[in-house]
Amino acid sequence: MIYHQQEILRKELDSFSQKKQSVGFVPTMGALHEGHLSLVEKALSENEVVVVSIFVNPTQFDNASDLEKYPRTLKADAQLLNTLKGTIFIYAPNVADLYGETVISKKYNFGGLEHAMEGKYRTGHFDGVGTVLNLLFRALQPTRAYFGEKDFQQLQIVRRLVAIEQLPVTVVGCPILRESHGLAMSSRNQRLTATQFKEADLIYKTLKKVREHFLEESIPTLQAMAEGIFAESAHLELEYFEIANIENLKTARRKRKGNSYRAFVAAYAGEIRLIDNMELPKI
């Protein structure tokens, strides 16, 4: 069932809350793939009802062309969700239903998490993400909300957002689903040519190589190795490769015992921007 108005959906959800039944929530921008479905399946296994929002949020895009070209496939998305067992409500609002008349971002201080990586390269991105999620959480009042580790920085920021806004929701992180050659599933993959799609497995291969050598090599060596791999690619242009501490997302210059790290990549295939990350072994 697709709802375009939060007021009507809210009434439906109230009947679950009144019976003390839990509401799971999976926020998405649509063009759904198996990665999204894995989040929905987890949410269905842990809650009586699941809301999937499908909304391409204008305030988190710093690039007008990326916003305009973002795939919008509501009918196919609904069909895909229909293949799952369980009670799923789709919330597909227009901008006004969510934002009202003023479509602007709130300014957040996420304790520095917002300045790393994606925040450095996409101005205002996390203010937009925080703003839309705050609006969605307040409108839908879910018990649990599910986010992919594919956007690991976003996941950490959402945890901070929930604390800042004092929202009574549990944030659940979910593993990255990949294509058979390793490329992380993404709505943007639809826009890749066959060659770009094939070659984009380099991102996964690089992350895997870094993971394999993480314990014996220094971080500068691993950094040079990753950058060297991309420098030789005719199809992918590296925007950043970073090894960062998972708690504060600060760039790691050397490994410290007891800390946990992940490797992060953003790269362009033509004009399509792809991101990925991978957990690194414990030291």
**Active site (annotated) includes residue 36:** yes
Give the residue closest to ligand AMP by C-beta. 148
CB of 35 to ligand AMP, least distance (A): 3
Considering only residues 133, 184, 207, 210, which one is a binding residue for ligand AMP as defined by CB under 6 A? Answer: 184
Give the footprint of ligand AMP on residues 9-48 (CB under 6 A).
28-29, 35-36, 38-39
* Residue 133 contacts ligand AMP per CB under 6 A: no
Residue 262's Cβ-side half-sphere holds a number of Cα atoms within 13 Å equal to 18
DSSP state, 99?
H
> Which of the following is catalytic: 36, 115, 125, 181?
36
* Residue 176 contacts ligand AMP per CB under 6 A: yes
Question: Cβ closer to ligand AMP: 27 or 108?
Answer: 27
Do residues 40 and 160 touch, judged by C-beta distance below 8 A? no
At residue 18, φ and ψ (nearest 5 deg) are -60, -30
Residue 203 corresponds to which tokens in the numbers above?
Answer: 């991102």
Collapsing DSSP states into helix, strand and coil, what is residue 276? strand
Considering only residues 42, 125, 144, 150, which one is a binding residue for ligand AMP as defined by CB under 6 A? Answer: 150
Biggest CA pair distance of the chain: 59
* Residue 277 contacts ligand AMP per CB under 6 A: no
Give the footprint of ligand AMP on residues 155-174 (CB under 6 A).
174
Do residues 10 and 140 touch, judged by C-beta distance below 8 A? yes
In this structure, the number of other CB atoms found within 10 A of the CB of residue 168 comes to: 9
Which residues in this chain contact ligand AMP in the complex, by CB under 6 A?
A: 28-29, 35-36, 38-39, 147-148, 150-151, 174, 176-177, 184-187
